[in-house]
Amino acid sequence: MKIKTRFTEMFGIEHPIVQGGMMWVGRAELAAAVSNAGGLGILTALTQPTPDDLKREIDRCRAMTDKPFGVNLTILPSVNPPPYAEYRKAIIDSGITIVETAGHKPQEHVDDFKAHGVKVVHKCTAVRHALSAERMGVDAISIDGFECAGHPGEDDIPGLILIPAAADKVKIPMIASGGFGDGRGLVAALALGAEGINMGTRFCATAEAPIHDKVKQFIVDNDERGTNLIFRKFHNTGRVAKNSVSDKVVEISAREGAVFTDIQPYVSGAKGRVALETGDVDAGLVWAGQVQGLIRDIPTCAVLIERIMSEANEIIQTRLGRMVSQ
Ligand SMILES: Cc1cc2nc3c(=O)[nH]c(=O)nc-3n(C[C@H](O)[C@H](O)[C@H](O)COP(=O)(O)O)c2cc1C
């Protein structure tokens, strides 16, 4: 079964399912597997140590798929920011035609991508940010609800409200993100006004995700309560898997007068990478969302996407169809 939406048409993909950018996880193996399965796979630019490494990763992904795939560029406030303009140039010079932007003030990036014919999906967590990205000229929006792994923003609006609230105002194609993992979620997203879904955590628990099997099993074993919200106090909220490190960060942050440097030793990206690569799930922060409660196996991306599509079909054609009468 196929579900055709403005999003699938715009990006030339078979199924309305996107794999969001994921630090340390969004490598060629995963992005190519998602794209080969008819979804939209996305490489994560900053996972590559330099812009030249990103170019090589793009070449590696091209060798694994002839289907469309994109690159995520996450713009986070930082004292020592990575060379964003150079990563952007590497993306453009490599002939990439789809980019997912996320984070703060993407205007200069959007302008340059658009000037070079690159289509931009901007991921954001509030209706007002979606509207500002639309005004900036992006081609599509990925709206990320409070359930999501990563940075859900500070408004705490779950997808059930955020998606239709955004759909009422955003005119360009919009996909729903945060908490999606199966066909029920896809149908719900479509019903709420989105034209596809974006998934992060669900794709971490797939055969092709380039992380340790113990982390995949940790996600499977966790339920919907298995996350912590960190960095709340510092207005940069992150949703991560509950483990000894994120528990500690929550505990320290709750202390009166706590400042960021008190938690800094626990939260480095390098430690999170060790957790993902060695399978020691208490080595650092492991980013994962509430959808862990719906993840019960570690399929290939092809099996997962096929299952989501056939489940969605069954719900639309049979379950919902049977409920309706004149
Ligand atoms: C391990 C991991 C790393 C992530 N890293 C990034 C990132 O670097 N940039 C970004 O825009 N989003 C990042 N995200 C967020 C995802 O792209 C996506 O928006 C989110 O996972 C959706 O929520 P879900 O996990 O409930 O599907 C990450 C998510 C995970 C699980």
Question: Nearest residue CA, atom 5 of ligand 1?
Answer: 22
Compute the average pLDDT of residues 273-292.
98
Compute the average pLDDT of residues 127-142.
97
Kind and range of the H or E element at 43?
strand 41-44
**Burial bucket for residue 235 (CB in 10 Å: 0-12, 13-18, 19+):** exposed
Compute the average pLDDT of residues 269-288.
97
Question: Nearest residue CA, atom 3 of ligand 1?
Answer: 22
Centre of ligand 1 from the C-alpha of residue 29, in Å = 17
Phi, psi angle pair for 162, to nearest 5°: -65, -40
Helix ranges, 236-320 (H)? 244-254, 260-263, 269-278, 301-314
Question: Distance between CA atoms of 91 and 177, rounded to whole angstroms?
Answer: 24
Q: pLDDT band at residue 325, thresholds of 50, 70 and 90?
A: confident
204 in contact with ligand 1, CB cutoff 6 A: yes
134 in contact with ligand 1, CB cutoff 6 A: no
Can you state the angle between helices 183-191 and 301-314, rounded to 10 degrees? 60
Q: Under a CB-based contact definition with an 8 Å cutoff, are residues 172 and 151 in contact?
A: no
pLDDT at 165 over 80: yes
Compute the average pLDDT of residues 34-56.
98
Question: What is the per-residue pLDDT across 197-230, written as a single tens digit (0 to 9) for each?
Answer: 999 999 999 999 999 999 999 999 999 999 999 9
150 in contact with ligand 1, CB cutoff 6 A: yes
Percent of the chain with pLDDT over 90: 96
For residue 324, what pLDDT is reported? 92
Percent of the chain with pLDDT over 70: 100
Atom index in ligand 1 nearest the CA of residue 100 equals 11
Q: What is the largest CA-CA distance in the chain?
A: 63
Centre of ligand 1 from the C-alpha of residue 26, in Å = 9
For residue 326, what pLDDT is reported? 80
Question: Distance between CA atoms of 211 and 25, rounded to whole angstroms?
Answer: 7
- Across the chain, mean pLDDT equals 97
For residue 78, what pLDDT is reported? 78
246 in contact with ligand 1, CB cutoff 6 A: no
Compute the average pLDDT of residues 285-313.
98
For residue 105, what pLDDT is reported? 84
